[in-house]
Amino acid sequence: MFYDVSREDEYLFKGKRKRLVEQLRSKGIKNDQVLAAIEKVPRHLFFDNTTARPALLDHAYSDKALPIGAGQTISHPYTVAFQTEQLELRSGEKVLEIGTGCGYQTAVLIEMGVKVYSVERQKTLFDKTKIFLPHIGYTSAKLVYGDGYKGLPQFAPFDKIIVTAGAPYIPNDLLEQLKVGGIMLIPIGEGVSQEMIWLKKNSSTGFDKKTLGSFKFVPLLQNKSGS
């Protein structure tokens, strides 16, 4: 089902990742730990490798969103790097990710030294990623099949929350599950692009909020999908 990691992650891909990191640096990503994480995670292994694999591999380290199956996409490397940087992560923190997808962002977060709890609503993607991430060595994430609008109350509160699909509004459950002092990154908007919202919880009801530019995400959909 999956490809041999050691043979696949050869010299060629390491070189391509170095170039991607330089590109991200020139686009404004400054956090060395984030750049080191991107340099480490073998992005070319995360695609839907049952279809169009050779063509996709060519693009694995260009700054593009690409298909991962079930009609979903892996986020642009810049978007992943940007959201990760803005979370201001510290080793050991508890991070909730909404929208596991192929697990690429999850792997980058794990490389940042945090404990990841990630929710995916598409059963097929969830099943695939739950096998795939440990297969390539990322065993520490808690992956849950569920509806991200509800968060994960059983594991709350979280130091940080990252939403990787475009939401029509900020779900209340997520605000409640964020620790005081915690940061959430969430793209908001139902059109072709979304505004990246950064918010910090100051008290149980008070928030600082900033808008950090336009990004493109697939929509955050309501409820679980059975397939």
Amino acid identity for residue 219 in this structure? P
> In this chain, which of 35, 56, 60, 74 binds ligand SAH, going by CB under 6 A?
74
Q: Which of 9, 1, 84 is nearest to 44 (CA)?
A: 9
Residue 198 CB burial class (10 angstroms; 0-12, 13-18, ≥19): middle
Nearer to ligand SAH, 72 or 177 (CB): 72
Among 41, 95, 102, 114, binds ligand SAH (CB under 6 A): 102
CA distances from 69 to 48, 142, 195 (A): 5, 21, 25
Site size with ligand SAH, rule: CB under 6 A:
24
Interface with ligand SAH (CB under 6 A), residue from 49, 84, 105, 194: 105
Does residue 91 carry a catalytic annotation?
no
- End-to-end CA distance of the chain, in Å? 19
Tell me if 45 contacts ligand SAH by CB under 6 A.
no
Q: Which is nearer to ligand SAH, 188 or 203 (CB)?
A: 188
Q: What span, in angstroms and rounded, lies between the C-alpha atoms of 75 and 67?
A: 9
Residue 220 found at the interface with ligand SAH (CB under 6 A): yes
**Which one of 147, 174, 185, 189 is in contact with ligand SAH (CB under 6 A)?**
147
Least Cα distance to 144 among 80, 74, 97, 177 occurs for 97
Among the listed ranges 29-37, 136-144, 145-153, 192-200, the one in contact with ligand SAH (CB under 6 A) is 145-153
d(CA 51, CA 55): 9
Q: Which residues bind ligand SAH (CB under 6 A)?
A: 68, 72-75, 98-99, 101-102, 104-105, 119-122, 125, 147-149, 164-165, 218, 220-221
What residues are annotated to the active site? 75
